Amino acid sequence: MPGNSLENKLAAYLLSNARADLVMKLLLLVGGLLGFSIGLLFSWAEESAGPSCLWHACLAAYLTAILMRWWGDAWRKSLAASMRERQSKSEPINTALLSKLSKS
């Protein structure tokens, strides 16, 4: 049955409210850490002063976390739309099958 496929179960699991909040928090955390390390490394490579390195790292962490949050939200909306599309495609098949069965 198309509605019970592994992809649909995984999508429903990832889109549940508790999981979605956890995934969003993890994306923000990963984005912040990634941005902080990239900002710190690039600023250190430019041989900037210590406070300047910290300022660049904090700014990069903030921007990268916001970018990861936007990307996660776009991914979540796309996953939900794909799941709705799969469910809507499977419904006409089931109604056609049911109408054939009811006629016989």
- How far apart CA 83 and CA 43 sit, in angstroms, is 43
The count of C-alpha atoms lying within 13 angstroms of the C-alpha of 3, restricted to the half-sphere facing its C-beta, is 9
Helix 17-45 to helix 50-103 angle (10° resolution) is: 150
Report the pLDDT value the prediction gives residue 29, as an integer from 0 to 100. Answer: 93
Q: Which residues span the domain enclosing 75?
A: 2-92
Number of domains in the chain: 1
Token code pair at residue 68: 């990861």
Give a yes or no: residue 103 inside a domain: no
Quote the CA–CA distance of 40 and 53 in Å, as a whole number.
6
The DSSP element (H or E) to which 34 belongs, if any, is: helix 17-45
Q: Tell me, yes or no, whether 97 lies in a domain.
A: no
pLDDT in tens, 19-76: 777 888 888 899 999 999 999 999 999 998 989 999 999 999 999 999 998 998 898 8
Residue 79, pLDDT above cutoff 90: no
pLDDT of residue 87: 77
Please count the helices (runs of H) and the strands (runs of E) in the chain: 3, 0
